[in-house]
Amino acid sequence: MSIEQNKLIMRRMIEEVWNQGNMATAEELFAPDHTSPSAPQLPPGSDGVKMLVQMFRAAMPDYQMSIDLLVADENQVVGRFTQSGTHSGGDLMGMKPSGRKATWTEIGVLRIVDGKIAESWYEVDMLSMMQQLNGSK
């Protein structure tokens, strides 16, 4: 894959899957045997990402992710993101809706094989998100 094609895969994952909740795009982008070593408990393929997207979008109906930086080569793409949302929907990882808004960052790495996301790693600032949603500093 070309560098620009790999960047496009990341952009589509963020915009279409995370921001729009398009689960068909998740099925298109992720290889059936996709794994995420940073979240080994998730099911393989697109099922794991779909589960996370649905959870966040249900808990934060105004959820949005923006891309701050993308770097790629022929085999992988790395992105830094800023996410935000108001916890006004359902439970989120055991937290009841607080009505509070949170903004947090994430770094993601995708390994691309034959135009599909084969493996992914994520480092999410969950502590910042949880502190903001719980009203602590």
pLDDT in tens, 24-45: 999 999 999 999 999 999 999 9
CATH number of 18's domain: 3.10.450.50
Distance (Å, whole) CA 55 – CA 98: 16
Query: What pLDDT was estimated at residue 87?
Result: 97
Distance (Å, whole) CA 86 – CA 101: 4
Specify the number of domains making up the chain.
1
Query: Cβ distance 77 to 11 under 8 Å?
Result: no
Find the domain containing 89 and state its range.
Answer: 3-134
Distance (Å, whole) CA 27 – CA 135: 36
**59-118 residue pLDDT tens:** 999 999 999 999 999 999 999 999 999 999 999 999 999 999 999 999 999 999 999 999
